[in-house]
Amino acid sequence: MTPALPRRALLLAAAASPLAAPALAQAPWPARPVRIVVPFPPGGSNDVVARPLAERLQARLGQPVVIENRAGAGGAIGATAVAQSPADGYTLMVSSSSFATTSITQRVPWGVLENFTPVALLARSPFIVRAA
């Protein structure tokens, strides 16, 4: 004979079950390939950071991670492609600090704060190197 659940615990479980249903219906992330957009040409510093990142993510996530270089307009073309993609976690962007000034110096259909969420700092690089 199993012990009966207290009435309060049973009522709490019944009340919380509709809240858990949407979470149970979702597929685990990632359920399909992940895209990393680099808004600069292949071989540049952002690309050099993105490619090893994609290899490590692919090994860890068990899904393909594809690099897509979308160069042009100082990064605005690639950033526009990312801003217009669904905010579902399947499209990421590796960009530089100049990305923040692009929306100030050019007319773009997105805003840095409104359309993008920072995820991680991947690398640091000096802007100026002087002779010793």
Tell me the CATH number at 99.
Answer: 3.40.190.150
Residue 14 pLDDT greater than 60, yes or no:
no
At residue 18, the pLDDT reads 56
Q: Position of tokens 């802007």?
A: 127
Residue 22 pLDDT greater than 90, yes or no:
no
Q: Is residue 81 part of a domain?
A: yes
Full 3-state SS string of 53-71: HHHHHHHHHCCCEEEEECC
* Residues 88/32, Cβ–Cβ less than 8 Å: no
Q: Is residue 75 part of a domain?
A: yes
Mean pLDDT in residue range 20-31? 70
Q: Is residue 23 part of a domain?
A: no
Q: Is residue 80 part of a domain?
A: yes
Domain of 105? 34-115
Mean of per-residue pLDDT scores for the chain:
84
pTM: 0.75
Q: Is residue 77 part of a domain?
A: yes
The fraction of the chain above a pLDDT of 70, given in percent, is 80
Q: Is residue 121 part of a domain?
A: no
Number of domains in the chain: 1
Cα radius of gyration (the chain): 22
Q: What dihedral do alpha carbons 33, 26, 111, 40 form, nearest 10°?
A: -10
